[in-house]
Amino acid sequence: MICRVCDSTDLTLAIDLGSQPWCNHFLTRDEIGKEPFYPLRVVYCNHCAAAQLDYTVKKEIMFGDHTYLSGITKSLSEHFRVVAEQVDSTFFKENKSKSVLDIGSNDGTQLRHFRQLGYDILGVESSATTAKIANEAGVNTLNDFFNLDVVKNINRKFDVINAAGVFFHLEELHSVTEGVREALKSEGVFVVQFLYMKRIIENMAFDQIYHEHLLYYNLQTIEALLNRHGLSMFDAYLSPIHGGSMIGYVGHKGKRLRTERLRALTKTESDSGCNQFRAYADFGERIKQMKDENISFLQKAKQAGKTIFGMGAPVKGNTLLNYFGIGTQYIDVLVEKNELRRNLFSPGKHIPIVIEKELQKLPDIYYVLAWNFKKEILANNQALIDKGVEFYFPVNPSEI
C-alpha cells in the first residue's frame, strides 16, 4: 500500500479493529449471515502523518446505494443552515448571482439552506435512492460519483463548493480534489467539513472508524492533500456536530491570507502531539479498556434483569457493536427514526431494527449508539428519563 495522501510506502499499523462487515449494509432477513467481512485497520504514514485505512471496500459497494439520510436529524439540518448563512454573510452576501455545488449532497438538506439564500444549487450524489429522494423534493441532483471527469462534464465553475462528511470517504481522492480545484471560481470558497481526528481521540470515538471513512484528518494532514492540488485552507473553526468536526474554508493557493483563528488551531494541534504515531498507539490501547468497561456495564444490567434497547442504528454503531461483541445477548432491538431501515438487521450482530413510533414497550436502559446527537436525544426524551429510563452513552463527547 501507498499513502493515500502523499504516496509514501512508509506506513505503520496503529489500530486494529479486526474483521468487520461494511457497516452501512443493513440486512434483510434473507441476508443474515451472508454479509462479507473486511479488515478494519488504521495505519499511520510516517512521512505526512496521515491516518488512514489500509483496506478499501470499493466505492460502488459502499456508496452506490445506502439508507443514510441527512435530513432525519434536526440538529444536523440546523448545523447546515448555520454553515450556509456564515459562508454567505462572510463571502458572497453582496453577489447578485451566486452558485453552490455540493459533493455527496445526500437528500439535499444542505443545498436547501443555500437555495433559501438565493444560490443556484447543484448536488452530486452517488446513492441512487438518495439522489432520487432529493430530485423528487426539487433539489437538482446529479446521480454520480464526483471526480474530475464529472467536473469536466458539468463544465461550469461555482462560488461555493461544499463537502460535508464526505472528503474522508474518497477512493478517488486526488481526482476529487483536482475536481474541486477545477470547479472552484478564482475567488471561490471550498467548504470542507470533516471529522477532526484530534477530537475523535479525545472523545474516544473509535466507532467513527469504519470502512466508509478511508482517511482521518487533522489540519496538518488535510493541508498536505490540498497543497498537492493548488489549494490551501485559509480559515477554520471547530463545530460540535458529530462530536467534533472541523469546518474549513479553502481557496486557491495564495488567494487568501490565513486567519489568526486558523493559526491558533494549528498551533494547538501541533502542541498536542496528535500528529505523532504515539497518539494513535495510545488510542488503540484505550479502546481495549473501553471495551472491557462497556461489556461489564451490560453484563451487570442483564444480571439485574434489565431490558436494553439500542438508541439509533447509526452506521458507526456497527463498528462498536462488532468490535465489542455486542449482539442480542445484550440488546433486544435498535430503535431508529429512519423509515428506510424498517425491518432490517444490523450487519455482523444481526440486531433487529424497529421504528421508534411503532415501539410497543419501553426498555429499562437505552444504550445510545447515536451519541453524537446527545443533546437532542436527551432533550427529546426527558419524559422517558422522568419515568426512570436510563440513557447510557458508550461514547460520551465533551463539550467544545
pLDDT in tens, 122-135: 999 998 889 999 99
Other beta carbons within 10 angstroms of residue 37's beta carbon come to: 13
Q: What is the pLDDT of residues 252-275, one digit of tens each?
A: 999 999 999 999 999 999 999 999
**pLDDT score at 252:** 98
252: nearest Cα among 149, 305, 360, 177 = 177
**Residues 41 and 13: beta-carbon distance below 8 Å:** yes
The C-alpha atoms of residue 210 and residue 125 are separated, in whole angstroms, by 20
Does the domain spanning 295-392 belong to CATH 3.40.50.10380? no
**pLDDT score at 65:** 64
**36 residue type, one letter:** P
CATH label, 70-277, candidates 2.60.40.10, 3.10.20.30, 1.10.3720.10, 3.40.50.150 = 3.40.50.150
Domain coordinates of the chain in residue numbers? 70-277, 295-392
> pTM for the complete prediction?
0.90
Q: What is the pLDDT of residues 178-195, one digit of tens each?
A: 999 999 999 999 999 999
